[in-house]
Amino acid sequence: MKNRLKVLRAERDWSQAELAGRLDVSRQAVNAIETGKYDPSLPLAFKIGRLFSQPIEEIFDDEFDGE
Amino acid sequence: MARSSYRYTTTKLDILFAFLAPVSIFLFADGPPKNAEIPPVFGQYVMAAIGIGATLLFSLIATKAADLDRRCAEEYAFQMLANAAVIAVITTMFTHVIWDMSVLNDMGLPKPSSGQIIGVLVLSWAAGYAIYRIRGIKS
């Protein structure tokens, strides 16, 4: 699953550790999400959406083409 | 409400499994069960006291370990631990079954000792953790 987490974080000039603190997860978890090694749970995805004031689908792309 | 520090980290888990993997080698080095009769050194009451003392000590260690788990209880770390544990259990079961096959024992391979089986469990858990840590957890 692709995501724009790294871009959104960079726009706010936050470090991975800073974002991790805001999301209450580990820095490694943020890194794993950004590098596509880990898909966050729905509650965490909502938390990310709320933090960046954007809907989940604007941040995460499940590459589903609808067919 | 910015927080500069963060509560969760997998660093301690990384260190724990990096330590456990070599420890498992020593467990593998444990030889086959010895059949030699060992004369009792202590009486049964002393042995009971040692057993109780060891149990209390291990309880304290387990409590400390549980504290570590709570600090790493975020979903990413927990999922890695759980996935690696599943790998460890399956690997241990298969290894035990194959190692314990009579045809292999007939070929000279001794039956596995309890220490060696625990070695398999620890090493496969550490290996599973390392694999998920490097490869990632994709749903």
User: Å from A33 to nearest chain B CA?
Assistant: 9
pTM over 0.90: no
Residue B5 falls within a domain, yes or no?
Answer: no
ipTM above 0.90, yes or no: no
Q: Report yes or no: B70 at the A interface, CB cutoff 8 Å.
A: no
Number of domains into which chain B is organized: 1
pLDDT digits (tens, 9 = 90+) for B105-136: 777 778 888 888 888 898 999 999 999 999 88
In chain A the domains, ranked by start, together with CATH numbers, are 2-55 (1.10.260.40)
Handedness of CA A39, A44, A49, A51 (dihedral sign): negative
pLDDT digits (tens, 9 = 90+) for B40-79: 666 767 777 777 777 778 878 877 776 665 555 678 888 8
User: Å from A36 to nearest chain B CA?
Assistant: 8
